[in-house]
Amino acid sequence: MNKIPLFIALFTLVACSRVKPPEPFGPVPSERQLAWHEMEFYAFVHFNMNTFTDKEWGFGDESPELFNPSELDCRQWARVCKEAGMKGIILTAKHHDGFCLWPSQYTEHSVKNSPWKDGKGDVVGELADACKEYGLKMGIYLSPWDRNHADYGKPEYIAYYRNQLRELLTNYGKVFEVWFDGANGGTGYYGGANENRKIDRKTYYDWDNTYSIIRELQPQAVIFSDGGPDIRWVGNEEGWANPTNWCLLRRKEVYPGYGRYKELRSGHEDGTNWVPAECDVSIRPGWYYHPVQDNKVKSLTHLLNIYYRSIGRNASFLLNFPVDSRGLIHENDVKQVLKLAETIGKDFAKDLARGKKVQASQTRGNSRKFSPRNVNDGEKDTYWTTDDQTTTANLVIDLGKPTSINRFLVQEYIPLGQRIQQFTVEAFLKNSWQEIASETTIGYKRILRFTTVETDKIRFKITQSKTCPVVSNIELYNAPVVIQEVEIPDDS
Ligand code: FUL
């Protein structure tokens, strides 16, 4: 055996393992949040009493007799979501009108008193089975505001609400997300009182004790509300985050119904907790099904813009289907979501950066463990980083030959925190570097779209970072140009 190469190999191994990884910086994601980040795209289903009354918010006095889908098929929902590349479905188990899609033992206002399946049906159970069959995760929306319940506004209602949560989190297998809405208190039926009930949004629900029920029964589930604790609302219902989007939030300041909700579009750069944003938006104007909106399904261009302004801006994309009164995702909605999936598939068909030569301005301790090659090796757990004091650095990807590029995708290694504050992307054109984008945050994922450039080198320049940058992934694509159906103004 040749002793010299063996010696060199051993020396390199020892030297590399001596270089320590960077310390985490600021708040970092929990295991459950990391798993959620990777889901990226999942569905909302608004289907409940409003589907049959043609309303968005029921008053709470609707008769259970009205709930009667003719062809309810949760397997169709799951099939469509799976085909569209979605990873889960969140169902409105109870909306503000209080009607329950499962036969709760704590109320008569549920499917058990409806004509559907002679009162023997359970939509939550059917969805849980369908999700299992199609390998999707299930989430639950349980409206805190209940316009049907006589005790709403009193302490007794909180006990009722928690009992319902226990039912949902005990009887239907694993739940990935529990969704708490911010709309709270106002007029309603309230068991026949027909009055206006105001609650103190900060104190009435005693949220911490409700959250502990979720931690006890479904420790892997993330909790969504305007201010987390795990996932935050993005501050609009149009499906976009700001280009500057921190996964951080001064969590104690934000509560369901928070007045300065527009801040949620960017999070807080000096946030105390890891609370990433979720972009919720309906494929139609309404959350619930209304036949008059059959021809108002969002265009492909609109849906694509949402994709790039949510997932492409360090947030997740929660796309709502207003399931119709048959109990099916309407044909028009199916067509649009599959068009979106097909286009996304084409946009990201071939990563042109994969395995290409990458050079860094600096590598941590010159260690191979933190090599720039880690950014295009297809491994999510390897990363490139620099020495601790370094807060500006760059990477050059050598494509080897002139290549057309119009998408740049970059990911920080978020288990060590969100660090980068500013970056640019440049292309080597006519013997000099030309800037093609100048941006701010990255986080879990950032995707940039730009006019096609033909270049043999791309430079990613980190121009400001809170501490040494840690980058796990870079991808480059040449997406086919999509024919514009309608011009959608940039809303941010
Ligand atoms: C809102 C609710 O009031 C809407 O009805 C819908 O459920 C949406 C997702 O959240 O706050």
Least confident of 12-26, 266-280, 421-435: 12-26
Same domain, 341 and 371: no
Beta strands in 26-107 (DSSP E): 41-46, 88-94
Residues in contact with ligand 1 (CB, 6 Å cut-off): 56, 181-183, 280, 287
**Residue 9, pLDDT above cutoff 60:** no
Last residue of some domain: 318, 347, 376? Answer: 347
DSSP states along 371-394: -GGGGGSS-TT--EE--TT---EE
Q: What is the pLDDT of residue 256?
A: 81
User: Which has the minimum average pLDDT: 78-92, 118-132, 243-257, 415-429?
Assistant: 243-257
In a domain, 487, yes or no: no
Ligand 1 pocket test target in 44, 57, 97, 287 with most atoms within 8 Å of CB: 287
Q: Which of 51, 59, 237 to mutate to test the pocket of ligand 1 (most atoms within 8 A of CB)?
A: 237
Tell me, yes or no, whether 9 lies in a domain. no
Q: What percent of the chain has pLDDT over 90?
A: 92
Q: Are 128 and 247 in the same domain?
A: yes
> 288 and 380: one domain?
no
In the structure, what pLDDT confidence band is assigned to residue 482 with cuts at 50, 70 and 90?
A: low
Q: What is the pLDDT of residues 236-274, one digit of tens each?
A: 999 999 999 999 999 999 988 888 999 999 999 999 999
**How far is Cα 98 from Cα 318, in angstroms, rounded to an integer?**
23
Tell me, yes or no, whether 10 lies in a domain.
no
Regarding whether 384 and 339 lie in a shared domain, the answer is: no
pLDDT-derived band at 366 (thresholds 50, 70, 90) equals very high
pLDDT tens, position by position, 298-346: 999 999 999 999 999 999 999 999 999 999 999 999 999 999 999 999 9
pLDDT digit string, tens, across residues 138-169: 999 999 999 999 999 999 999 999 999 999 99
275 and 386, same structural domain?
Answer: no
Range of the domain at 408: 357-477
Protein residue with least CA distance to atom 4, ligand 1:
287
**Residues constituting the chain:** 492
Are 199 and 51 found together in one domain? yes
For Cα atoms 383, 384, 389, give the angle at the middle one, nearest 5 degrees: 125
Q: Which atom of ligand 1 is nearest to the CA of 57?
A: 5
Q: What is the atom index within ligand 1 of the atom nearest the CA of 44?
A: 9
Pocket mutation for ligand 1, best pick of 140, 181, 224 (most atoms within 8 Å of C-beta): 181
Confidence band of 8 (pLDDT split at 50, 70, 90): low
Rounded Cα gap, residues 371 and 472, in angstroms:
10
Residue 264 near residue 232, CB atoms below 8 Å: yes
Does residue 342 lie in a domain region?
Answer: yes
The per-residue pLDDT for 255 is: 86
Task: Check if the beta carbon of residue 167 is closer than 8 Å to that of residue 104.
Answer: yes
Comparing 214 with 257, the larger pLDDT belongs to 214
Q: Nearest C-alpha to atom 3 of ligand 1 is from which residue?
A: 183
pLDDT over 60 (residue 485)? no
Residue 60 contacts by C-beta under 8 Å, 6 or more apart in sequence?
Answer: 96, 97, 98, 146, 147, 148, 149, 188, 189, 190
On whether both 174 and 323 belong to a single domain, the answer is yes
For residue 17, pLDDT over 80 is answered with no
Separation of CA 57 and ligand 1 centre (Å) = 9
**How many distinct structural domains can be found in the chain?**
2
CA of 160 to the centre of ligand 1 (A): 21
| pLDDT value at residue 424 | 98
384 belongs to a structural domain: yes
How far does residue 478's CA lie from ligand 1's centre (Å)? 37
Q: What is the CATH number of the domain that holds 47?
A: 3.20.20.80
- What digits encode the pLDDT tens for the residues 216-242? 999 999 999 999 999 999 999 999 999
> In this prediction, what percent of the chain has a pLDDT beyond 70?
94
Indicate the average pLDDT of the chain.
95
Please give the average per-residue pLDDT across 427-447, as a whole number: 98
Residue 405 has pLDDT above 50, yes or no: yes
Q: Which residues contact 93 (CB under 8 A, 6 or more apart)?
A: 100, 101, 102, 123, 124, 140, 141, 142, 168
Q: Which uninterrupted H or E stretch holds 420?
A: strand 420-429
What residues contact residue 437 under an 8 Å CB cut-off, 6+ apart? Answer: 408, 424, 425, 448, 450
CA of 342 to the centre of ligand 1 (A): 29
Which atom of ligand 1 is found nearest the CA of 143?
7
Q: Is residue 485 part of a domain?
A: no
**pLDDT attached to residue 483:** 55
Q: Is the confidence at residue 487, as pLDDT, over 60?
A: no
